[in-house]
Amino acid sequence: MEHVTPIYILSGFLGSGKTTLLSRLITSFKQQGLRPAIVMNEIGEVNIEGLVAGEEVPTAEMLSGCICCTIRSDLSSEIAMLIQREQPDVIVIEATGIANPIEILDAAAEASLYMRIDVKKLITVVDAAHLLHLNIEQKGKTYRLMQEQIRAASALVLNKMDQVTDQGKETVQQLVERWNPYAPIMPAVRCDIKLEDLLQSDPQDRDEHSIAHNREGRDAHEHTDKNKQANSHEHDHSHEHDHEHDHSHEHGHAHDSHDHVMSYTYYFSHPVNSVEFERLIAGLPRDVYRAKGILTFSDTNSRFLFQYAFRESDFMKITPQGQVPDVVVFIGEHFQKSLLREQLEKLEGKTSWA
């Protein structure tokens, strides 16, 4: 089985305690005998926080810009180079405090089209005292950004709880629950929490495998340049049946273990019918607001880059460089991954439509 590199995204406003949690995570991974790596994003020319990880932890630094805006397009190549060079067991992306996590998730989803990665959780660290202060006026860019960071999370660490009163603890807990009633909330001081509870996966997720097990007997995976030669032809259903495809891919890597999953990646084992796929996309719930993928259709002789946004889909002929799997990534809020996976499996003929 090819190794799928798990990725955890750390979000949270400036000063919330992300770096403290990052340090705890790295220590924990090392104690488990795993090899962690970091993608660290900081506004500025020098990444002071990068010194925290130490030289023994491979780190990709993205400076002078935010992952979700000026250098967002570089995230895929940074992850690819990190995996190819270091072969880590797990990657943690720590985003700058002013980043919109939805855009970071979208960038990670882009990367998953070209390499085998699995975004397990988007963890938001919340400064309880700061949030309570901002909630008094309930306005301003910082307040809105913190709200977005909380809403996007699949797990929440309510940090600095020692700096608020008992009444404040109740107020901030209720506020966070109202903004995100799906993600588990872990109150903390200096992000001192049970990490196994934070990172735990749903035991009912049939596609979960332990990271340590994936490390055993890993096959070398040929990573490919995400740059691809593309032709802007219209999607044509009239091509002859002619395709080449690797049938050995694993399927259905969920980017979170709960039904409030923010993103979901599905690897196809063989080409699917283009009309049936478009019908599935047209029926997506509104909770899914972005999707992208690389597909081979059974009724064409070309591969396509697929993109979906604002209820509109687009297909473009491409000629990917190297071995690029057929895969589709869905991004949204609180949609049911299990239902989507079932529909995709039916599309592939793995289960009957009855």
Q: How confident is the model at residue 321 (pLDDT cuts 50, 70, 90)?
A: low
Residue with tokens 């950004």: 145
- Contact between 9 and 22 under an 8 Å Cβ cutoff? The reply is no
The per-residue pLDDT for range 98-115, each reduced to its tens digit, is 777 777 787 787 778 778
pLDDT for 113 equals 78
Asked if 288 and 259 count as a contact pair (C-beta separation under 8 A), the reply is no
**Higher-confidence residue: 10 or 205?**
10
Which of 78-87, 192-201, 271-280, 291-300 has the largest mean confidence? 271-280
Q: What are the tens digits of pLDDT across the range 281-298?
A: 999 988 887 888 888 999
Token pair for residue 54? 């130490």
Cα 336 from chain centroid (whole Å): 16
Calculate mean pLDDT across residues 40-61: 54
Mean pLDDT score across all residues of the chain: 75
Which one of 11-20, 172-181, 223-232 scores highest in mean pLDDT? 172-181
Residue with tokens 């799906």: 182
Closest of 191, 188, 160 to residue 25, by C-alpha:
191
Which of helix, strand or coil describes residue 185?
Answer: strand
Q: Please say whether the beta carbons of 134 and 142 come within 8 A.
A: yes
Confidence of residue 45 (pLDDT cuts 50, 70, 90): very low
C-alpha pair distances (Å), 292 with each of 96, 111, 123: 25, 11, 23
pLDDT for position 73:
59
Half-sphere exposure of residue 17, counting CA atoms within 13 Å on the CB side? 24
CB atoms within 10 A of CB 104: 26
**Sign, Cα dihedral of 4, 323, 109, 274:** negative
For the entire predicted model, the pTM comes to 0.64
C-alpha triplet 101, 155, 108: angle, nearest 5°? 35
- Supply the pLDDT for residue 112: 80
Region 152-166: mean pLDDT is 94
Assign 231 a pLDDT band (cuts: 50, 70, 90): very low
Length of the chain measured in residues: 354
